Amino acid sequence: MQLSATEQAMLDGAEGPAVQRALAYQVKVGRFFGAARMVPITNAHMMGDIEVLGDAGLAFLQDMQRAGALARIPITTNARCIDFAWADRLGQDPSECAKEREVIAALQGMAVMTTDTCINYQTLYQPHLGERVAWGDTGTCIYANSIFGARTNFESGPAALAAAITGRTPEYGFHLDEHRRGSFIVDIAGATLADLADWGALGKIVGEGHQSYYTVPVFTGFRRTPLADELKQLGAALASYGSMGMFHFVGLTPEAPTLEAAFGGSVPRDVERLVVDDAAIELVYAGYDLGEGDARLVVFSGPQLSLFELRDLGRLFEGRRVAPGTAVFVTSSNGVLSAARKLGYLAPLEAAGVCVLEGVCFYILQNLSQMREREGWKNMISNSAKIVNIIGAHRFRTILRRTADCVEIACTGRLA
Amino acid sequence: MTALLRLTRGFGSVVEGEAIVSDEGFSPRYDLDRWSGVITKPGHRLEGLSIKDRICFFPTAKGGIAAGWAFYDIQAKGIAPRAFCFGVTNPVMVQGAVLAGIPITEGWAPDPRTVLRTGDWVRVDPGRLVVELLRRAV
């Protein structure tokens, strides 16, 4: 790996032990992937909360802060595991809440902007074509690569933090043209995709069958302009089910003005073609059932909701009540929720008995397994295919349903 | 000793241990109880199995950015595997393993599912990019 004179000096300790440690770590990761060099970045986004950090991760952050670590470019934080206003009511551990405050203090001490959102691409920063960033939360990465044409790999918490400390990242994966070309075609001419959950179902179908970070699906044939929230659900599901970091959408994403362009010039003759139509989407929904459990937990989260989603959800809950014994959770960022409150979108949700959580995502909530046991929840129903996929380690059974169906289930306690 | 598998890339020191050979991919966020080291996702093909001190052969990495911190955390808790060998991985697994000092490799030939069984004792050498079979499971 070729380092510049500045980078070599960093590695030799010229900018202090924190920079030295961060760059040494990045070089090891870069060598694994055969990176030829480091490249400068303009923005970073990191996951760092006590649920995933554990005591060891917290100690690591505090060590780095003591060593003088300081972000040299803007770095924001992903959703965290505690909304302090709700912690008591949700039965979260006071000791972990105290540690979460230590995490936040350590991050802020390193000039990390604790924005606590997984939809930074909708609310905080929209990198332009070719701009190199270091983003974590897979949904943010796939959105940056695909919709903006920016360049990032999946950068986990320590990797994104290191990138902000050095202002660089190793050049491999989606920083290189060769990995950004399409791998196969997904024809969605026969898919209506009228609900957000349908876009997640599409991501599940495509992702599950092609699990590989470097597989880049090329969507074609769709007959209207998808909305940002629809592309958010698609990307989050592809990244979740397929571990994918990029997709093309012909005529929409900047590196795919044509089908040929999506493949880097010409479409390979033997390229795989997958057709996903309405029938295939319906089959996804048919694949879920209640099992031995009931339908007492409905979650709108993972990713956090945009202002538009909150407005639409408020309309669906207007004048209704969550069924007795049912719990409904909605999560978003401080910025979105502040605007939603000002515009009156939260009132119908709160009047209906929906729990609106700030700065968190449901599946990473501290003490979630204990919460599930205490409440006797077996099934979790959601319109997010991503959260339906990833909450399994907490032993939830999961059911994907369309948005209006989720609201109906929430208000009746019966699976629609 | 003859190499049982040849690997494409690797990080970390030479380790020996009992193999877990999985047909299904892996994510510490989606599949693992990070307080016990047991795979708890309902329906995972290795559900109920502990990865502690094992050498884990997973064909793919599932999404999820959590591995970056989670591997460091499970290493500190003493429930980490001795090595991760992936058919295809993603950067998060590598970033996490490097931070935690857990050996990790990507790419293999032949596919371990054709020549290795869970319980076999193997040696992984990420420097020489080989996996060697030391003894078969009884």
Does the beta-carbon distance from A213 to B30 stay under 8 Å?
no
Q: Are residues A366 and A315 in the same domain?
A: yes
Q: Are residues A230 and A306 in the same domain?
A: no
Tell me which residue in A157, A213, A369 faces B69 most closely, judged by beta carbons. A157
Residue A60: list chain B partners with CB under 8 A.
72
The tens digit of pLDDT for each residue in A209-236 reads 998 999 999 999 999 999 999 999 999 9
Which residue of B lies nearest to A141 if distances are taken between CA atoms? Answer: B65
* Shortest CA gap B69–chain A (Å): 5
Which residue of A lies nearest to B35 if distances are taken between CA atoms? Answer: A54
Q: Which of B39, B89, B95, B106 to mutate to test the interface with A (most CBs of A within 10 A)?
A: B95
Q: Are residues A125 and A153 in the same domain?
A: yes
Residue B75: list chain A partners with CB under 8 A.
56
Residue A239: list chain B partners with CB under 8 A.
63
Q: Are residues A249 and A110 in the same domain?
A: no
Q: What pLDDT band is residue B133 in, cutting at 50, 70 and 90?
A: very high
ipTM over 0.85: yes
Q: Are residues A10 and A151 in the same domain?
A: yes
Tokens of A280: 């295939």
Chain B residues with CB under 8 Å of a chain A CB are 9-11, 25, 27, 29-34, 40-44, 60-70, 72-73, 75-77, 88-92, 94-96, 98-99, 104, 106
Q: Is the pLDDT of residue A108 over 80?
A: yes
Name the domain boundary from A157, A177, A197: A177
**Section A182-205 average pLDDT:** 98
Tell me which residue in A157, A390, A394 faces B68 most closely, judged by beta carbons. A157
Q: Are residues A167 and A27 in the same domain?
A: yes
Q: Is the pLDDT of residue A393 over 80?
A: no
Name the domain boundary from A177, A193, A226: A177
**In this prediction, what percent of chain B has a pLDDT beyond 70?**
99
Task: Reduce the secondary structure of chain A to three states and give it as a string.
Answer: CECCHHHHHHHCCCCCHHHHHHHHHHHHHHHHCCCCEEEECCCEEECCCHHHHHHHHHHHHHHHHHCCCCCCCCEEECCECCCCCCCCCCCCCHHHHHHHHHHHHHHHHCCCECCCCCCHHHHCCCCCCCCECEECCHHHHHHHHHHHCCECCCCCHHHHHHHHHHCEEECCHHHCHHHCCCCEEEECCCCCCCCHHHHHHHHHHHHHCCCCCCCCEEEECCCCCCCHHHHHHHHHHHHHHHCCCCCEECCCCCCCCCHHHHCCCCCCCCCCEEECCHHHHHHHHHCCCCCCCCCCEEEECCCCCCHHHHHHHHHHHCCCCCCCCCEEEEEECHHHHHHHHHCCCCHHHHHHCCEEEECECHHHCCCHHHHHHHHCCCEEEECCHHHHHHCHHHCCEEEECCHHHHHHHHHHCCCC
Q: Are residues A195 and A299 in the same domain?
A: no
Q: Are residues A32 and A143 in the same domain?
A: yes
Which residue segments constitute the domains of chain B, with CATH numbers given?
3-135 (3.50.30.10)
The tens digit of pLDDT for each residue in A333-392 reads 999 999 999 999 999 999 999 999 999 999 999 999 999 999 999 999 999 999 999 887
Does the beta-carbon distance from A212 to B60 stay under 8 Å?
yes
Q: Are residues A136 and A248 in the same domain?
A: no
Query: So what's the pLDDT on residue A416?
Result: 66
Name the domain boundary from A233, A250, A285: A285
* Shortest CA gap A338–chain B (Å): 27
* Shortest CA gap B105–chain A (Å): 9
* Shortest CA gap A350–chain B (Å): 30
Q: Is the pLDDT of residue B46 over 70?
A: yes
* Shortest CA gap A319–chain B (Å): 36
> Across-strand partners of B26?
B61
Which residue of A lies nearest to B70 if distances are taken between CA atoms? Answer: A52
Does the beta-carbon distance from A56 to B104 stay under 8 Å?
no
* Shortest CA gap A370–chain B (Å): 12
Q: Are residues A169 and A298 in the same domain?
A: no
Overall number of domains in chain A: 3
Q: What pLDDT band is residue B63 in, cutting at 50, 70 and 90?
A: low
Q: Are residues A278 and A301 in the same domain?
A: no
CATH code assigned at A383: 3.30.499.10
Q: What pLDDT band is residue B61 in, cutting at 50, 70 and 90?
A: confident
Nearest to A76 by CA among A182, A194, A155, A169: A155
Domain span at A33: 5-177
Nearest to A39 by CA among A115, A180, A178, A150: A150
Query: So what's the pLDDT on residue B29?
Result: 74
Q: What pLDDT band is residue B64 in, cutting at 50, 70 and 90?
A: confident
Q: Are residues A279 and A301 in the same domain?
A: no
The tens digit of pLDDT for each residue in B70-111 reads 999 999 999 999 999 999 999 999 999 999 999 999 999 999
